């Protein structure tokens, strides 16, 4: 099993969510980097929403009046480095910055022969450190991006496709 590359951006100039495709078929991703190096990591819509909501709540506790940094707008991904599994967030007080650590999702179950190699192989990680204004801009854009999707059914909460929706609660 080959693990992907890991990345560390202690002063990320960019950390931004994106989506490509029409609502209902969008592919979500996170783009980030510094000094001309950008990485694109595929993720789920729920991960973008949860990270945006978490950052907003964290900023509300730390500095409710922080002004969002200038946003990056729409980002078009290059090939994705890997798919995001777990997401960790922390605040580093001395540097007054947010740290987000993304871990690669590993979908392959190791075989018995590969179990020794699998013990040594760890999922790739990407670490992004950025300012509170950058976090505020990310959070606002992430929630706006997620809201641009299909509307939810008022009865069952499932998304409504453009051609309609068979609601399980309307049986």
What are the pLDDT digits (tens) for 87-122?
Answer: 999 999 999 999 999 999 987 665 555 555 555 578
Using 50, 70 and 90 to split pLDDT, how confident is the model at 63?
A: confident
The predicted pLDDT at position 31 comes to 95
pLDDT at 36 over 80: yes
Q: Is 84 exposed, middle or buried (0-12, 13-18, 19+ CB in 10 A)?
A: buried
Using 50, 70 and 90 to split pLDDT, how confident is the model at 168?
A: confident
- The candidate with the shortest Cα–Cα distance to 59, out of 126, 140, 129, is 140
Q: Which residues lie below 8 Å from residue 113, measured CB to CB, with a gap of 6+?
A: none
pTM of the model: 0.82
C-alpha 157/C-alpha 150 separation (Å) is 11
C-alpha 159/C-alpha 23 separation (Å) is 10
- The candidate with the shortest Cα–Cα distance to 29, out of 21, 37, 8, is 21
The predicted pLDDT at position 3 comes to 67
C-alpha 33/C-alpha 141 separation (Å) is 17
What percentage of residues in the chain have a pLDDT greater than 90? 60
Average pLDDT over the chain, rounded to an integer? 87
The predicted pLDDT at position 110 comes to 57
Q: Read off the tokens for 61.
A: 């506790």
The predicted pLDDT at position 64 comes to 83
């Amino acid at each position: 099993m080959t693990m992907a590359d890991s990345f560390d951006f202690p002063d990320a100039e960019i950390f931004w969510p994106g989506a490509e495709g029409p609502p209902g078929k969008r592919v979500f991703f996170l783009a980030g980097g510094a000094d001309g190096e950008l990485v694109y990591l595929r993720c789920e819509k729920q991960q973008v929403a949860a990270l945006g909501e978490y950052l907003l709540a964290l900023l509300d506790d730390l500095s409710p009046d922080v002004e969002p940094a200038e946003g990056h707008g729409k980002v078009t991904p290059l090939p994705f480095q890997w798919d995001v599994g777990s997401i960790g967030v922390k605040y580093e007080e001395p540097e007054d910055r947010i740290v987000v650590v993304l871990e690669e999702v590993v979908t392959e179950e190791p075989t018995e022969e590969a179990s020794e190699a699998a013990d040594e192989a760890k999922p790739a990680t990407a670490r992004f450190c950025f300012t509170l204004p950058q976090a505020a801009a990310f959070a606002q854009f992430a929630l706006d991006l997620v809201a641009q999707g299909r509307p939810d059914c008022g009865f069952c909460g499932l998304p409504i496709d453009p051609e309609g929706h068979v609601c399980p609660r309307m049986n």
